[in-house]
Chain A
Amino acid sequence: MKLTVIPERCSGCRLCELACSIKKFGVINPKKAGVHVMVVYPAPVIRMPIFCHQCKDPKCAENCPVNCISQENGIVRIKEEECIGCEQCIVSCPFGAMFTHEDREVPFKCELCGGDPECVKVCPTKAMIYVPKHLLGQARRMENVLKYAHMKQVEYFEKGEKKILHYTEAEKKENNKREE
C-alpha cells in the first residue's frame, strides 16, 4: 500500500496535519505532524500535502551519521534512542518530508499510523489516499489509452435528454483482408 496525494483535490484545510498530530503525539498542534500542507498562490496556484514516501533507499538514512534510520516492512523509522539530533536527515530528504519542532529532540515523519493512516480517513476531498501499489500510475495509464484510441464522440437525443456516445473506429482494411 502507498500513501499518496492528488494535489488538485487538496483544499488546504490542514485536517491531515491535525489528525496526524492527534494520532502521533496526542496533541492539537498542526506543527507536530508527519504531513505538512504547502499552500502557494497566486502563481503557481497549488495546495500540496508533503509527507514521507517511505523510500526503499532513503536519503535520510544514507546521510544519518549514526545510521539510526532504516526501512522496515515498507516504513522508514528513526531509532529515537540513538538519534543525536543533528537534523541532517531533514535537509537530506528530497521531499522535505522530515520535520522538527522545538518541543522534541528527535525529528519526526510519517510512519503511516502503523498501516491505517488517519489523514486519509479525515481528508474531506479525498486528496490524501492510501492505495495498493499496483494502482499507482493507473490514472496516467488510462490517460494514455484514451488519447491513443482517439476517442470519437457523437451527441444524440434520447427521450428529450442529450447524450454523448464515445466510440473508437476500427481500422478499415482493403478487401476485408487482415494485415500481416
Chain B
Amino acid sequence: MNKISGYFGKILAVDLSQGNSRVIEFEPEFALQYLGGRGFGAKILFDQLKKHDFQLDPLSPENVLTISPGPLAGTYMPASGKTSFVSLSPATGIYGDSNMGGGFGVELRQSGYDALVLFGKAPELSYLYIDNDKVKIISAPEMKGKTVLETEGLIRRRTQDTGLKIITIGPAGENQVLFACLTGDWGRNAGRCGMGAVMGSKNLKAIAVRGTRDLPVADLPALVKASNEGFALLAQHPMFEFWQNQGLMSVVDYINNVGVMPSYNFKDAYFDRAEKINGYTMEDHYKIGNTACFACPMCCGNICLVKQGEYSGTVVEGPEYETACIFGSNLGVDNFAFVLKANQLCDELGIDTISTGNLIGAVIEGYQEGILDLDDTDGEVLGWGDEKAIISLIEKIAKKQGIGEIIAGGSKRLIQEFPKLSPLISQVKGLEQSAYDARVAMTMALGYATSDIGAHHTRAWPIAFELEAGKNWSMEKKVDLVIYHQTIRPLFDMLGVCRLAWIELGFPEQFYETAFQAVTGIKYSLKDLLARSNRVYDLTRLIITKLGISRKDDYPPERCFIQPILSGPHAGKKLDRKSYELMLDLYYERRGWTKDGKVPAEREKEFSQEPGII
C-alpha cells in the first residue's frame, strides 16, 4: 500500500457487537480527497447509509460513529488539537457532526490511526481501551450511571496514567437523551447533534487512548518555520493577551453591545445586565486558571471556581460564550455563579449546554405564556432567572423524568407533544439554535438555515463581519460570504485544527496551505483544499436531502420573521421574508444546486459510484 506523509493510512474499525476490531487500510486517494476529520466521517456515514438504503435508525447498532482528527492535528501548528465526531444524529435524523478540542485526537493519532469508527453495540456497558496496537473492549457495568468525571476517575485509577486521554458520556448519554454529548479533558465537549446518545446506544461509556508514535511529517523544518512564524504573529496581535485572559467569554460583551445576544428564549437580543455575566465578572471574581487545547497559544479555556454563596465549591472548566449566554441572558439569569453551576451540571451529566439551555428557555416561555400548565411541568412553576427550577429541569432532562423525558427528545419531540410551543422554539432541522440572534445579519440567518447539521454556527459565523462592515453589501456578497465560511470552516474540521485563530485573531489562511504541504508533502494549494471541503459540503447536502431535507427546511426559525427584537441597538428589527426567499434562491444558485436545493445529478452520481471505504 502506498503511503503519503501526514497519514498512517489506517482506520481502526471497532465492532462492538462482535467484541473485536480490525484495521482498514486506505489508499492515498481517499486521504487526498477527504483529507480527514469531518471529511472521513461524512464519507463513512454515506457508505453506511448506502448499504442500508438510507433507512437507518440513529440509535440502532447499524449507525456508525466516526472519530477523526485530521492530518494537521498534533503537528506543532498553532491550535492543532481538534477532532471531529460524525454520525447520523438521533435528534435531527440527518447528518450530524460535532467537534472537540483538548488532546484526545492527538493521542488517537499517536496510537497510529487516522480515524476510529464504531460499529454495532456492545452486549453490556463497556469502554474501549486503545494502547497503540492493543485494542480492548472492556465490560464495565460498574460505570452505569456514573458522571463524566467519576467515569474518568475509574479508568485513571485502574491504569495509574494521568497521560491517558479519555472521552466519556455521562448518565444522559446512557439514557440516550437526544442531545447528550461526549466530554474529554474535563470540559471539552463534542456537544452538538447527540453524539453522546449514539455512544450510549452502542453501550459504550468511554474511550481511553494512549499513543506513543511519532506523527508523520514530510518536511519538519518547513513546518517548524511556518509554525514559529504563526506563533509570533499571534503573540503580536493586539487582542492576543486579552484573548488569553478572557477566552471566549470576551464574546459576551462584544455580542451584547452589537445587540445580537439572545435573551429570554431568543425573544430579545439584548441583555441589560450583561456585565454581570461577562468576561470581566469572570476575571474579577471567578477565574482561577487557563486551559488550552493541544498546541494552542490562545488558551481560550477558563477554569472558574465559586468561592462563596449558594454554589460555593463549584469548579468548572469553562464557561465559554455559548454556555454563558444560553444559561444567562437566554434564561433571564444575571448570576454568574449560577451559570457556572449549570455548566458544571451539564458537563457532569453529559448534555449539550446549547440544546439544553435553548430548550429550557422554550419551556419557561411556554409556561409563562400559558401554553404549558402545572400539569405539564410536574407541578413546578417555571420563571425567568429561576435558578432552582432550571437546575431541576437540567437534572430531569438527564434522567428523562417528568417533563424532562419530553425535553430529552429535543425540539422535534417537544413540538410533537406541545404543538403550540413550536413558534417559540428556535431550531432548524431539529437542532436547537446556538447563541447568536438571526434577525439582524442576513448572513447569520442564512448560515443557520443552510448549515448541514441544523442551527449551529460551526459552519458559518459571518455575523461580526456583516455587522461591522456589511451595511451596504449586495445580496451576492452576503451569500458568497456565507458560502465561503461554509467552505473554510469545515476545512479546519477536516484538517484537525481550530478555527478560532483565523476568525478571532486574523490568522492568515495561507498558513494552512503551507502546513498541509509541509506535513503531507502534497503540493495542494489553499484553493485545492477549499475545493475538497466544498465537495464534502455537497456530500453532506446529498445525505440530508436523501434523508428528507428540502427547501422548506432551509429557513431560520419562524420566530425571526415574526418577533421583532425588543431592546438594544437593533430594537424593532426582524427578518424580511421576501428578502430571505430571494437570498435562498441566490444561495442555491451560487452553490450550483437545483432550484429546490438538491445537489446536481452528476454530483450525486459521482458520490454514488465512488467505491466505499467501509
Contact = CB atoms under 8 A, between A and B. Distances in A.
B295 A13 contact: yes
Interface in A1-37: 8-15, 18-19, 22, 26-32, 36
Interface in B245-280: none
Contacts of B293: 13
Nearest to B297: A124
Contact of A42 (B149, B224, B235, B301): B149
Contacts of A129: none
Given A11-B290, A13-B293, A29-B214, A124 B76 contact: no
Contacts of B235: 124
Nearest to A23: B224
Contact of A29 (B162, B212, B303): B212
Contact of A28 (B185, B215, B290, B296): B215
Contact of A15 (B149, B162, B295, B317): B295
B212 A22 contact: no
A22 B518 CA distance: 15
A97 to B, nearest CB: 15
Nearest to A123: B297
Interface in A75-133: 101-103, 122, 124-125
Interface in B142-172: 149, 162-163
A124 to B, nearest CB: 3
Interface in B291-326: 291-299, 301, 303, 305, 315, 317
Contacts of B422: none
B213 interface: yes
A149 interface: no
B214 A22 contact: no
Contacts of B83: none
Query: Number of contact residues on A: which range applies?
Result: 20 to 34
Given A13-B296, A13-B297, A124-B297, A102 B212 contact: yes
Contacts of B231: 122, 124
A22 B228 CA distance: 12
The CB with the most chain B CB atoms within 10 A, among A13, A27, A45, is that of A13
Contacts of A154: none
A26 B296 contact: no
B580 interface: no
A28 B74 contact: yes
A68 interface: no
A109 B293 CA distance: 25
B250 to A, nearest CB: 16
Contact of B290 (A19, A42, A125): A125
B134 to A, nearest CB: 13
A45 B291 CA distance: 11
Given A22-B76, A122-B231, A12 B297 contact: no
A47 interface: yes
Interface string A40-53: 11110101000000
B149 A11 contact: no
Contacts of A41: 149, 186, 317
A32 B294 CA distance: 16
Given A45-B288, A45-B315, A124 B244 contact: yes
A77 to B, nearest CB: 24
A38 interface: yes
A47 B289 contact: yes
Contacts of B186: 41-42
A30 to B, nearest CB: 8
B599 interface: no
Interface string B71-82: 000111000000
Nearest to A15: B295
Contacts of A40: 162
Contacts of B35: none
A9 B305 CA distance: 16
A19 B227 CA distance: 11
Nearest to B519: A28
Contacts of A36: 163
B212 A15 contact: no
B117 interface: no
Given A13-B292, A19-B76, A28-B76, 6 more contacts: A9-B290, A14-B294, A26-B220, A28-B214, A43-B315, A124-B231
19 contacts: A10-B290, A12-B292, A13-B296, A13-B299, A15-B76, A15-B295, A18-B76, A28-B220, A29-B213, A31-B110, A32-B214, A42-B315, A45-B305, A102-B212, A103-B212, A124-B235, A124-B244, A124-B296, A124-B298
Interface of B: 74-76, 103, 106, 110, 149, 162-163, 185-186, 212-215, 217, 220, 224, 228, 231, 235, 244, 288-299, 301, 303, 305, 315, 317
Interface of A: 8-15, 18-19, 22, 26-32, 36, 38-43, 45, 47, 101-103, 122, 124-125
